Structure 1
Amino acid sequence: MSSKHQQSKSHKLIIFIFFLFIFLCVMRQRLSASNLQSQWHDDPQPPLEKIPPSLADALVHYATANRTPQQTLQEISLTKTVLQNRSPCNFLVFGLGFDSLLWKSLNHNGRTVFLEEDGDWIERVKGMGLSLEIYHVEYDTQVEEAVELLEDGKRDEECKKVTDPRFSNCILAHKKLPKVVYDTEWDLIMVDAPKSWSKELPGRMTVIYTVGLMAKNRSPGAKTDIFVHDADRWVDNKFSRAFLCEGYMKGQVGMLRHFTILSHRTSSNLPFCP
């Protein structure tokens, strides 16, 4: 057996045990709640609930799939920790991958939406019967434009105004995302798409700017956690630091960078970046 194959099996086993641990924790919490309710009201203990469908799907999927999530266990654990504090919540994910069912399961009882540019891949995933909420998106940029877009975005005062991206005059504002993206207040956002590893691909320039703008334009007092994967790449590194703002960066694990952005509608005196 090759070393690569052994690592793949080990990774699958870790993911399966990870989900099994989550399931046991959920059931333990429900048992405790049921016992307390019985003690307080002197009623018979109610029957235990069934395993959540999303978690059941995830256990089966990762136990039988030949592919594992693209992120490392350490990177996944960072997002999991934030989700534990914020779920159930609204979670927007740019990218549809082998970790999609993982995100939906970790956000049990919340809303998890996936945006993907590859229509054929969307149909393949839908054919797996995983019950994911997926929307097709298109991008009209290329990585080779990134340097110019970065300079324009930093120089243009319109790019420093906090507003709905659909009404922004900044060249980086993405105006063609599905309506649900603009109309929903997202508590967590994961930027792991579109493709960005070569100059002819769309890159994440407009996505990174737009999610930051949406976070700043949320209801007063709201807080948004944004994760950018592949933060070691030039585009993801430069654009996240410039438009999600280094002052909002909480840290980085592996190639996953974490930002926490407060609503700018709370105070009109807040600069675009602290």
Structure 2
Amino acid sequence: MRPKTHHPLNLKLLLLAILLAFILLFVFRSSLPSSQQDPSPTSQTILLKPTNLTKEADCPTTCTKMPSSLAKTLIHYTTSTITPQQTLKEISVTAKILEKKSPCNFLVFGLGHDSLMWSALNYGGHTIFLEEDEAWIEQIRKRFPMLKSYHVTYDSKVNQADNLMEVGQGPECIAVSDPRYSMCQLALKSLPSEVYETKWDLIMVDAPTGYYEEAPGRMTAIYTAGMMARNRMDGETEVFVHDVNRVVEDKFSKAFLCEGYLKKEEGRLRHFTIPSHKDGVERPFCPE
């Protein structure tokens, strides 16, 4: 999730627009209940008292201010010259889902310059970032201590992708189970307990590195995201995979998140909606 330059001006405008819209919605929702209340004898009495009326006008009972985390996010992206890795259209795909589901549980493989944005768009929810580079985690924590992240280690490399694709076709890999107890070589078994014990509404796979042969590949992250979605007891999980223009991300997302669950593809981003495979409904690993 390291930054690349993609239409910086348009993307910055999008980020500002999304954040401003979110802030306006927050303020609107906060003030809505009091404006929709029916007049009562108490409220009519208050209207006859000028001093109380003035107080209500200055700051009603639902008077709120912008949360500091949103303020910091707005200031950061207004003043930053670094553009997040995803493009305007790619970000919009996930932002629309967050608009419907937030506050929710959002797991992100990767920690980057767009992390503050994802956390803000899921304001009030639970957002966790998994990152392979400890030094990078420390840099981000110093700048944005409100972001929750964990260091994770990936044992597989990009040049092992073909072998792991073959392994993934075995019965132990298509059996739905908790990834930490899976017999499949593709399952990530050493993530923090919180990751396995949370029912994730959204999962974004935008790490590990994955762009050269000796780099950690995203094979296990993609497989584990799909297994977490299937292993939940009910409901659906929205799974996003970035950089699907690359061979590993392309093949593994189709194989283990399933083309039958693909909802949208925009640029280098794919969006899958994966239902629970433990809700009592018989389902094959991938739909027909």
TM-score between the two structures when normalised by the length of structure 1 = 0.92
Relative to structure 1, the CA distance from residue 140 to residue 24 in structure 2 (aligned partners, 3 Å threshold; closer, same or farther) is same
Number of the residue aligned with 2:172: 158
Q: 1:54 aligns with which of 53, 69, 79?
A: 69
Relative to structure 1, the CA distance from residue 247 to residue 63 in structure 2 (aligned partners, 3 Å threshold; closer, same or farther) is same
Tell me how far apart the structure 1 counterparts of residues 122 and 27 of structure 2 sit (CA, whole Å): 16
Number of the residue aligned with 2:144: 129
Letter in structure 2 aligned against 1:245? C
Letter in structure 1 aligned against 2:29? Q
Letter in structure 1 aligned against 2:12? K
Which consecutive unaligned segments of at least 5 residues does structure 1 have?
Answer: none
Letter in structure 1 aligned against 2:71? A
Matches within 5 A, 1:1-274: 7-37=7-37, 39=39, 43=43, 45-154=60-169, 156-219=170-233, 221-267=234-280, 269-274=282-287
Note if contact 1:54-1:104 (Cα within 8 Å) is conserved in structure 2: no
Letter in structure 1 aligned against 2:24? L
Cα deviations by residue, 1:110-140 (Å, 9 ceiling, x for unpaired): 0000000011110100111341001000011
Relative to structure 1, the CA distance from residue 10 to residue 239 in structure 2 (aligned partners, 3 Å threshold; closer, same or farther) is closer
Identity score, percent = 50
Corresponding residue pairs, total: 268
Note if contact 1:228-1:257 (Cα within 8 Å) is conserved in structure 2: yes
Relative to structure 1, the CA distance from residue 41 to residue 192 in structure 2 (aligned partners, 3 Å threshold; closer, same or farther) is farther
Note if contact 2:7-2:87 (Cα within 8 Å) is conserved in structure 1: no
Tell me how far apart the structure 1 counterparts of residues 180 and 133 of structure 2 sit (CA, whole Å): 23
Letter in structure 2 aligned against 1:142? K
Tell me how far apart the structure 1 counterparts of residues 26 and 104 of structure 2 sit (CA, whole Å): 17
1:61 is paired with a residue whose SS is: helix
Cα deviation for residue 42 of structure 1 reads 5.8
Report the structure number with the largest CA radius of gyration.
Answer: 2
Note if contact 1:189-1:211 (Cα within 8 Å) is conserved in structure 2: yes
Relative to structure 1, the CA distance from residue 39 to residue 137 in structure 2 (aligned partners, 3 Å threshold; closer, same or farther) is farther
1:202 is paired with a residue whose SS is: coil
Relative to structure 1, the CA distance from residue 38 to residue 26 in structure 2 (aligned partners, 3 Å threshold; closer, same or farther) is farther
TM-score between the two structures when normalised by the length of structure 2 = 0.88
Note if contact 2:164-2:186 (Cα within 8 Å) is conserved in structure 1: yes
Question: RMSD of the TM alignment (CA)?
Answer: 2.0
1:127 is paired with a residue whose SS is: helix
Note if contact 1:92-1:113 (Cα within 8 Å) is conserved in structure 2: yes
Tell me how far apart the structure 2 counterparts of residues 119 and 195 of structure 1 sit (CA, whole Å): 13
Note if contact 2:103-2:123 (Cα within 8 Å) is conserved in structure 1: yes
